[in-house]
Structure 1
Amino acid sequence: MNQALSPLLKIRAERDQMSAIERRIADFILDNAHLLRDYSSQHLANALGISQSSVVKFSQKLGFKGYPDLKYSIGQALARGDAEPATPLATPPPDNDPQAALAGRLWQLKATAEAETRLINPAERIDEVAAAVQGAGKVFVIGLGEDGIPARALATRLSMLGVLTVHYVDAVLMQAGIASAAPGDVLLVFSERGRQPVLCQISRRFHEHGGRVVSVTRHTPNPLRALADIALLVSAHDEARHVEPLLYQSALQHLLDLIFLMVCEASTERQRWYDSNAEHMHALED
């Protein structure tokens, strides 16, 4: 693990992948990070009613030598003030401006979600997705329900770059569409929970045609992610149910924007395609 990264950020990002006991340890550490210096591994185990070895294994799973190493790293992160990766406001909002305070908190939460998402998607994986899209004969894109919104937006942007894009919002139509898939083609499947059986079926059929599947899901074990050749993951958490979807959408959009820029800037021809298509669209609007 890159020790320059905040261990608290690492714990939040990996929480969805943890066992029940590991999540209890993670939640305790996240809620009591400033008090952790007073806790030995045995104290922490006693507080949670678990074995000391569980605390040690938790620390090692995160890439630390042991609990003392994890505790020291958390203390250093708190001292540096990098437990939260948000950018501070240039001018602090006045105490009597609740809207500015709410906007600042939302900005901070989104920045945390985006940082967590970057952490769990190594640069090599992003490079692989961008290269696959860049070199594909056709790029198929599908997302159902709310997942269809970012899917459609990405399909539109890729089309603007001259990428031959096949986009469906209907699973039945996509089943028919992938009959034209060929080796080297790419299927981007958007599903926050990754559990729709029909999308798993489409992914299997796409593999039968020799194509590569890229799943876009939460950072949780799910059937769609298991079927994918490349899995893009999103980490976004909040106790408030109405806030968490906002963080997911923000982190996902940031991830997709990065891939779009990489495809665009990898080729001057792609950029010319975009400029030409943008001019035609503006002419139609005028």
Structure 2
Amino acid sequence: MAPLARIRGERDRMSAIERRIADFVLDNAHLLRDYSSQQLANALGISQSSVVKFSQKLGFKGYPDLKYSIGESLARRESVITRDPAQANRGDDAPGLLLAESLWQAKAEAVHTTSVLNPHADVVAVAEAIRQAGKVFSIGIGYDGLHSRTIAIKLALIGRTAIHLFDPALMAVGTSSAGPGDVLLVVCEHGQEPALCHTARLFRKRGGKVVSITRHTANALRAHADIALLVSAHDPRPQMELLLYQAALQHLLDLVFLMLCEDEAHLRMLEENGAPIE
């Protein structure tokens, strides 16, 4: 896993001092090459040994090893593909090719990091909960609503009773028919929507199981989930970060869907419905 992704992945389990170091490194990754361990410690008002222990806890020999790994990772991200003669002769097509390659690499890294952050057992548990549920409720707002709608449609195609809810004011009412064993799949990027947290809390009181999909941050929605799936997608360019989040999120949902399709009854229902999946 890339060092910055590893730091994000471990941040929630760090001590207060370690989180201060982690936040500084994440916010100033491009400037880290100019900081010695002592300078970093001085900037944060902590001991140099805290910086060294932080690096070693992440699996590095020491701070220089961590700094080198971060610099190397950033260089790979920022590098462009080497132009061979064929590409050089493409003229006006070259910028488009570079942009396409950059997007592909960034998406691949986001999907890979997201996969590492989610234990396989958790993804299997989500698929199993949906398989056993009487009803599956899928909710989300904005862009997340599009993904929650898509997974609801796919679940219906394999014979699951799937209900997509999109109006925040009616979400709690929409799930009022939920019973023990039913599943609420909540997609919320930052996990802070009050309406979704309220609905998740009521759903669990009725004996249902809540599955949240959010960014890998400490957030309110994760606290209400029985199973929390996490998305990692970071880029300084907002337009790129949006695309990376959507790609990694879709990967998680697709993986759950594929696990469900390993059930012969589900696969047979999908073939009978004969609808294209996009």
TM-score (structure 1 length as normaliser): 0.80
* AA at the equivalent of 1:104: E
Q: 1:86-105 maps to which residues of 2 (within 5 A)?
A: 93-94=87-88, 96=91, 97-105=94-102
Q: Is the 8 A contact 1:25 1:48 kept in 2?
A: no
What's the counterpart of residue 24 of structure 1?
24
SS of match in other structure, 1:180: coil
1:196 CA displacement: 1.0
1:46 CA displacement: 5.2
What's the counterpart of residue 62 of structure 1?
58
What's the counterpart of residue 239 of structure 1?
236
Count matched residues: 266
* Deviations 1:126-158, CA, capped at 9 Å, x for gaps: 111111111111111111122100000000001
What's the counterpart of residue 273 of structure 1?
269
Q: 1:1-286 maps to which residues of 2 (within 5 A)?
A: 5-11=1-7, 13-14=9-10, 19-28=19-28, 30-31=29-30, 41-42=37-38, 44-45=40-41, 50-64=46-60, 66-67=62-63, 70=66, 74=69, 93-94=87-88, 96=91, 97-265=94-262, 267-278=263-274, 281=275
User: For the residues of structure 2 that align with 1:47 and 1:141, how far apart are their CA atoms?
Assistant: 46
User: For the residues of structure 2 that align with 1:118 and 1:241, how far apart are their CA atoms?
Assistant: 22
Q: Is the 8 A contact 1:137 1:164 kept in 2?
A: yes
1:59 CA displacement: 2.0
1:42 CA displacement: 3.3
SS of match in other structure, 1:228: coil
User: For the residues of structure 2 that align with 1:210 and 1:89, how far apart are their CA atoms?
Assistant: 56
SS of match in other structure, 2:239: coil
SS of match in other structure, 1:237: coil
SS of match in other structure, 2:100: helix
* AA at the equivalent of 1:270: H
1:68 CA displacement: 6.4
User: For the residues of structure 1 that align with 2:12 and 2:45, how far apart are their CA atoms?
Assistant: 21
* AA at the equivalent of 2:258: L
SS of match in other structure, 2:176: helix
Q: Is the 8 A contact 1:25 1:55 kept in 2?
A: no
SS of match in other structure, 2:235: coil
Structure 1 pair 245–15 and aligned structure 2 pair: CA distance change class (3 A): farther
* AA at the equivalent of 2:249: L
Structure 2 stretches lacking a partner, 5+ long: none
Structure 1 pair 110–102 and aligned structure 2 pair: CA distance change class (3 A): same
Q: Is the 8 A contact 1:138 1:166 kept in 2?
A: yes
* AA at the equivalent of 1:10: R
Structure 1 stretches lacking a partner, 5+ long: none
User: For the residues of structure 2 that align with 1:68 and 1:52, how far apart are their CA atoms?
Assistant: 13
Q: Percent identity?
A: 52
* AA at the equivalent of 2:252: L
Q: Is the 8 A contact 1:195 1:223 kept in 2?
A: yes
